[in-house]
Amino acid sequence: MFQRLTAYLDSIRARDPAPRSRAEILLYPGVWALGYHRIAHRLYRNGWYFLARAVNHWSRWATAIDIHPGAKIGHHFFIDHGFVVIGETAEIGDDVTIYQCVTLGGTSPDNGVAGKRHPTVLDGVIIGSGAQVLGPVTVGERARIGANAVVTRDVAPGAVMVGIPAKPTLVEAATWQKDFVPYGTPCSELFDPSTQKLEIMRCELDTLRKRLDAMLAERSGERKPERDRA
């Protein structure tokens, strides 16, 4: 048990440069939330639903992280900071990293899988802060969900998803091959929120220019016949 705990703490230290020791990581709310969830999930599997919910309720109050007792979570799962919500039928693989304010939420199942309302997140996935992954979708291995992205469809393995609704974007091969990239996306201008806003404004400006050109062309077309008559 001690070896497993040590391996888990080392896996977090490999993904987070902030802690100076394993003991410091033991104070992380995400570590406590996962520990409480292991207890709640075992109670849930044995039919002790009220006790499972009681543990879940205490964990949510103590850590600001809400993991339903029915959620299935693999090894070395790391929640960096809090305010995360994980639904009942969510399934999370190994070495998954989730940042603050992420929701693995549910929708009514429309894919024929009875009772499956929440996402399946495979091994090595990184989900950036504020992202929402909704419904019985599958996020492929080593995929990255950018900050504030909203995912409502399956994500291919290794894809980088940004935007609302989330769409895949190209990333340099050298960046993709890295073992771990903090916050789910490379730190470049491509993923800077201010740049994204600027890009949206440029699109709107291009649309307005096209409309203006069309109006000017219309007016010049109306004036030409008048000149011909003169």
Domain regions of the chain by residue span: 2-191, 192-230
Residue 220 has pLDDT above 60, yes or no: yes
Q: Is the pLDDT of residue 14 over 80?
A: yes
Percentage with pLDDT > 90 across the chain: 48
- Sequence-distant (≥ 6) Cβ neighbours of residue 69 within 8 angstroms: 37, 40, 41, 43, 44, 49, 52, 53, 55, 56, 88
Q: How far apart are CA 77 and CA 170, in angstroms?
A: 26
Q: What's residue 173's pLDDT? A: 46
CA 96, CA 52: separation in Å to the nearest integer?
A: 23
DSSP-derived secondary structure letter, 180: -
Q: How high is the mean pLDDT of the chain?
A: 83
Residue 26, pLDDT > 60, answer yes
What pLDDT score does 115 carry? 78
Contact 32, 79 (CB under 8 A): no
pLDDT of 215: 81
Residue 166: what pLDDT? 85
Q: Which CATH number does the domain 2-191 belong to among 2.160.10.10, 3.30.310.80, 3.60.40.10, 3.40.50.1820?
A: 2.160.10.10
Percentage of the chain lying above the pLDDT 70 cut = 77
Residues pairing with 151 in the sheet: 133
d(CA 176, CA 214): 43
pTM above 0.75, yes or no: no
